[in-house]
Amino acid sequence: MRRKSKRTPGIEEAHPFSGLSRVNPNAAGVDIGAVEIVACVSGDASTQIVKAFGNYTVDLQALAKWLRSYHVKTVAMESTGVYWIPLFEELERQGFECLLISSRSLRRVAGRKSDISDAQWIQTLHSYGLLESSFRPQADLVALRTLLRHRNQLVEHRSPHIQHMQKALLQMNIQLSQAVTDVTGVTGQTIIRAILAGERDPQTLAAMREPGCKKSEEEIGKALTGTWREEHLFILKQSVALYDFYTEQIQACDEEIECRYAMTRADWEAGDVKPLPVKKRNSHSKNAPYHSESIRQHLKRISGVDLSVVDGFGVSLAQTVITETGTDVGDKFPTEKHFCSWLGLAPKHEISGGKILKNKTLKTKNRAGQAFRMAAQSVKQADCVFGVMYRRLKSRLGPAQATVATAHAIARVVYRMLKYQVEYEPISLHEYQKRYEEQQIKYLKKKAAKFGLQLVSV
């Protein structure tokens, strides 16, 4: 189906872009739906050509052929759910420059909305260079990012079944959560599986504790005296089975991720990787990758630097940041300010008439930004520069803003590491405190000079 929308002379004179020149003359706009894809290209000086396609693979290939017949070089499309992914990948494979546009960039004037008008509006904005593409990492990292996001979903789906286990135990007055720190740990799982196998004697169950368990056998035995109701035991059995199922799927996903890492930039050589610092005694992560050291080697090879040694980071957060942001941050983000703004770690200044109307950090679902916030949370009590920074800012700004500010500082460090290919070299707390004092003295001298005073050290 082929449609043309001609502009009358009166409308052309009132066109909002009449005084602008076309930046992308060979541009196309695409509106993507669940069933139909509408594409728009430029025709004559006052004409736009619109054609509708299906969403099957043969239709996507026909769309690419149709765009090439009109000498289209760049295509803009709105990010609608996941419907844009097959078309984006097909057009990118065939050599088109593809721009993924956020819906906030396509705010229209009041009027009727249709797929045809949306496609025309996207094509018009793109031809005048008024659209900015959303960030997307390098193509070879997209597959890794997809698998890691799927793994995170598996971890999220496994979490409710842990709660179901705890609930079933509590309804039988089995206070296992008070006896052990984590019911999914070695002691907790050994006791739960013994219960499902038919063991009911509290002292026998308590004797299954690991030697490093803090609670004594006597105290654990008191916590394991319950009612043993059959309906709750049935729920406990199914919850454990579902927990085991998701654990197996996570392990299988880790194996696939490991294979994908080996195929990603296989010709790049890894540099020397220093051993990770010794972890604290009580630090552990139940959701960490099963092949952490191997993944760390791959991340070093792919990015050129070892992000896992950054204070607050680890292998899990390092791979999240690299797969979400890519390794060419210097090309995508001119400065660290642009990088932190995209992460959602910088305040949005709204100024009118020289007056600040709003100065708050916007809410965002940016996964890389969330990873930096998690890193900031993990250094709250740490004896490192970021930990000292967090505690100093918390007293003045509160915990929420201190977390964002600390995450912002960590992001700036990671940006410099990826852009300039330098390893992480933390400064000592003494050096950091010295620099902070010098900065404060300089600020006080400047403030005193503004009032005609002079700051004198005693």
Reduced to 3 states (helix: H, G, I; strand: E, B; else coil), residue 351 is strand
pLDDT (tens, 9 = 90+) of the chain, 458 residues, equals 444 444 434 334 445 666 677 888 899 999 998 899 999 998 887 789 999 999 999 999 999 999 999 999 999 998 878 889 999 999 999 999 999 988 776 765 555 578 888 898 899 889 888 888 888 888 889 889 999 999 999 999 999 999 999 999 999 999 888 888 888 988 899 999 999 999 999 889 888 888 878 888 888 888 898 889 999 999 999 999 999 999 999 999 999 999 999 888 877 766 566 665 554 444 557 788 888 888 988 999 999 899 999 999 989 999 999 999 999 998 889 999 999 999 999 887 777 777 777 777 777 788 999 999 999 999 999 889 999 999 999 988 899 999 999 999 999 999 999 999 999 988 888 898 888 888 988 999 899 898 888 888 77
| Helices within 264-366 (DSSP H only) | 292-303, 315-325, 329-332, 336-343
Residues contacting 114, CB < 8 A, separation 6+: none
Residue 164: inside a domain, yes or no?
Answer: yes
In a domain, 272, yes or no: no
Say what angle helices 367-378 and 336-343 make with each other, to 10 degrees. 90
* Among candidate residues 103, 127, 151, the one where a domain is terminated: 127
- The reply to whether 178 and 303 lie within a common domain is no
Query: What pLDDT, in 10s, does the model give residues 303-360?
Result: 989 999 999 998 999 999 999 999 999 888 999 999 999 999 988 777 777 777 777 7
Two tokens, residue 404: 């964002």
First to last CA, the chain: 85
272-288 per-residue burial string, b: 16 or more CB within 10 A, e: under 16 = eeeeeeeeeeeeeeeee
Q: Assess whether 171 and 196 both reside in one domain.
A: yes
Residue 187 lies in a domain: yes
Closest by Cα among 113, 119, 114 to 101: 119
Q: CB-hemisphere CA count at 13 Å for 327?
A: 19
Domain closes at, from 73, 103, 127: 127
pTM, two decimals, is 0.82
CATH number of the domain enclosing 99: 3.30.420.40
List of residues 6+ apart from 449 with CB closer than 8 A = none
Domain membership of residue 39 (yes or no) is yes
DSSP 57-86: HHHHHHHHHHHHHTT--EEEEE--TTTHHH
In a domain, 81, yes or no: yes
Residue 211 lies in domain: 140-263
Same domain, 94 and 175: no
Amino acid at residue number 64: A
Q: How far apart are CA 290 and CA 448, in angstroms?
A: 57
176 with 258, same domain? yes
Note whether residue 193 is domain-resident.
yes
Q: Is 443 contained in some domain? A: no
User: Could you tell me if 299 and 376 lie in one domain?
Assistant: yes
Do the Cβ atoms of 237 and 196 come closer than 8 Å? yes
Q: What is the predicted pLDDT for the residue at 15?
A: 56
104 shares a domain with 12: yes
Q: Say yes or no: 410 and 304 in one domain.
A: yes
Shared-domain flag, residues 249 and 370: no
Contact status, residue 119 vs residue 32, Cβ threshold 8 Å: no
Is residue 80 located within the same domain as residue 200?
Answer: no
Per the structure, the count of domains in the chain is: 3
Same domain, 66 and 149: no
Among 93, 127, 161, where does a domain finish?
A: 127
User: Is residue 116 situated within a structural domain?
Assistant: yes
Whether 47 and 107 map to the same domain: the answer is: yes
